[in-house]
Amino acid sequence: MSDDVRQQATQLTTAIQEAASLRLPEPVGELVPLEQADAPVADAIRTRMNEIDMGETSSIIGFGSRAQLELQTISQAMLNDVRNKDVGPAGDSLRQIVTTIRGFSVSELDTRRERSWWERLTGKAAPLANFMARYETVQGQIDKISETLLGHETVLLKDIKSLDLLYEKTLDFYQELALYIAAGEEKLKELDTTTIPAKVAEADAAPEDQKIVVAQELRDLRAARDDLERRVHDLKLTRQVTMQSLPSIRLVQENDKSLVTKINSTLVNTVPLWETQLAQALTIQRSKEAAESIKAANDLTNELLTKNADNLRETNRVVREQMERGVFDIEAVKHANESLIATIQDSLKIADEGKAKRAAAEEELRKMEAELRDSLASAKARAENPGA
């Protein structure tokens, strides 16, 4: 892995820790009516009540829609950003690292292993030279994949921050809906207790030539009142769906946090450790080959001096024993390589589990949406057939 990639991955560690430790506020589930609200909330409710013009149908139909404009802007920006991304799943890059490392066998360094018939037939290069050639190839692949993972890490961090903003705006929309619902219910209460009874009294007291006009105004007022009631009901349903979307946003965000943390650990810890272990294996192998060369020279000397005195023979025996001692345990390096692969497979498992959780969450949302639609259809049917 290049120094530039390693440096960037290390610099992103702090940002990842900050993103993982961020705690977002929880939604408030209770609706506060005007008479129970404190002064700032009561003023906000009255402000939204003033948006309602009972003589203007569009003000009733569009009541509360202003609260959704900013959330729609944020959501559309996120969708456009997703469309413009030209990167594949991060799991693919992790799988590439697993495949690359799995195909790179440190056991090729072992000079004691039995060579295959093809190696014996072709007179393949010495283990160290062949290992070095393959190491350079694999190192290039690891560098390329590491750069790709760094790109995934940056994109995921951006997604996490975008989801933070989306969560905050969704929560603001949720709270804003509560104000609009309270304003709508207060307006309905005002209509039922004051405005409509006053209009009824006006219709009863109107002269004959004005009764038709006032009666029509009363019918229009009652129709507008019913439209407002339906609009408030729609806002309540929207608020419920909005509340359900908040944990969905968090679920996706937690999966992204888990994956970006594992990617960062791979770049900052796993890949450098793998490179260090390979470098150590190469150094040990060079030392071993040097020792074997010395041993061969001593063996030749000992063969020439076999007729020397017993003291020389004893010295030769001691030297041979020391030279025969092994200095490199290939099993230890193999075990480390297997542990490295297991670590990366943990990342894949987390990514797969995250995908399964997202799928489960989406299925649950579809079920809840179907239930809401059924409830709305039932309510509509009951409203259209009150005597049924």
pLDDT tens for the chain, residues 1 to 388: 555 655 655 655 555 555 445 454 455 556 666 667 678 888 888 888 888 888 888 888 888 887 777 667 766 665 565 544 444 455 566 566 656 655 555 555 554 555 554 445 444 545 556 666 666 666 777 777 777 777 777 777 787 787 788 888 888 888 888 889 999 999 999 999 999 999 899 888 888 888 899 899 889 999 999 999 999 999 888 888 888 777 877 887 787 777 778 777 777 777 777 777 777 777 777 787 778 778 888 888 877 777 676 666 677 777 677 666 555 457 776 877 888 888 888 888 888 888 888 888 888 988 988 888 888 888 888 877 765 5
Q: What's the Cα-to-Cα distance from 271 to each of 145, 279, 344, rounded to whole Å?
A: 11, 12, 10
| 4: nearest Cα among 111, 132, 151 | 151
SS3 state at 23: coil
Q: Are the C-beta atoms of residues 98 and 271 closer than 8 Å to each other?
A: no
- Spatial neighbors of 240 by CB under 8 A, at least 6 apart, are 372
Q: Alpha-carbon torsion 373, 378, 383, 384, what sign?
A: positive
**Domain residue limits, the chain:** 3-384
Q: Alpha-carbon torsion 347, 157, 175, 237, what sign?
A: negative
Position 318, amino acid: V
Distance CA 92, CA 98 (A): 10
- Spatial neighbors of 281 by CB under 8 A, at least 6 apart, are 106, 109, 333
- Phi, psi (degrees; rounded to nearest 5) at 63: -60, 120
